[in-house]
Structure 1
Amino acid sequence: MGIGNEIKGDDAIGPIIARKLSELFHDNNDVAVFDGGTVPENYTGSIRKESPTHIILIDAVEMKKEPGHIRVVCKDEIAKYNISTHAMPVSFLIKYMETTIGAEIILIGIQPKLMELDQNISKEIEESIDKVVNVVFKLINSSKDL
């Protein structure tokens, strides 16, 4: 699930990645991709219906790193990072999904550069978007062989 606000510059990371992954997995019935936008909690019912074993959340995360830095954010670390430009904090969303869905949840954070209204995605973020799409696509496709 991609999370983010498409009119706030690099905060559009999640929705852009969700669209790209949706195109790559459009013929794969084992993978569901959601663009949660700024209200990812609205998709928890649809996610629950999919009965996933794993959920990957992708969002802009202020980690005080170089723009475009990519990191898997551990649950214990979520509170120390600024993740939320959204209605519900991501930490609440994760706790809710853990208790109601029971899937393994992974948060991939990308350090934004610009998160102002009506900004375009920065160049550093464009490169990170492509990296995340490629890694997630390869990871999911390789897991079928396990």
Structure 2
Amino acid sequence: MIPDIRVLREPWADPAIPLPAYETPGSAGADVRANLAPEDREWGFTLDPMRRAVVPTGICVEIPPGYEIQVRPRSGLALQHGLTLPNTPGTIDSDYRGPLGILMINLGPHPYTIHHGDRIAQLIVAPVVQAAFSETDALSATGRGAGGFGSTGRG
């Protein structure tokens, strides 16, 4: 069964901007686009190096219980311009109904202008399992034990 993600446009949003969509039949992520405020639409929004900003999408989503949406960077923007998401992957919970904004950062050396309608991130719809957390006096032993960062080998 394919989850149905219901999408509501914000009152100010430009209805000409497409809803999130899979660009190829094998895409795991649906591209989401910038839907800029009316005053920013003509010139775009410039993200200076090392600056973070929330870029509006103009939409709110209703995610079915048992699912989440993961927000991930677009590889081309990251490789070519240094644009990424500082909280990658971001999570949109199924009980959130507010505006979907994409937290972006410019790690590149040059300012980058995000234009109205640009594809800025990918949305991955994924199942969620909630676990029970219980306190214990000891944990079971493993070969790795308490080895943390870099403990299993080089890099």
TM-score range, shorter chain: under 0.3
* Structure of higher RCO (CA pairs closer than 8 Å, 6+ residues apart): 1
Larger Rg: 2
TM-score (norm 1): 0.26
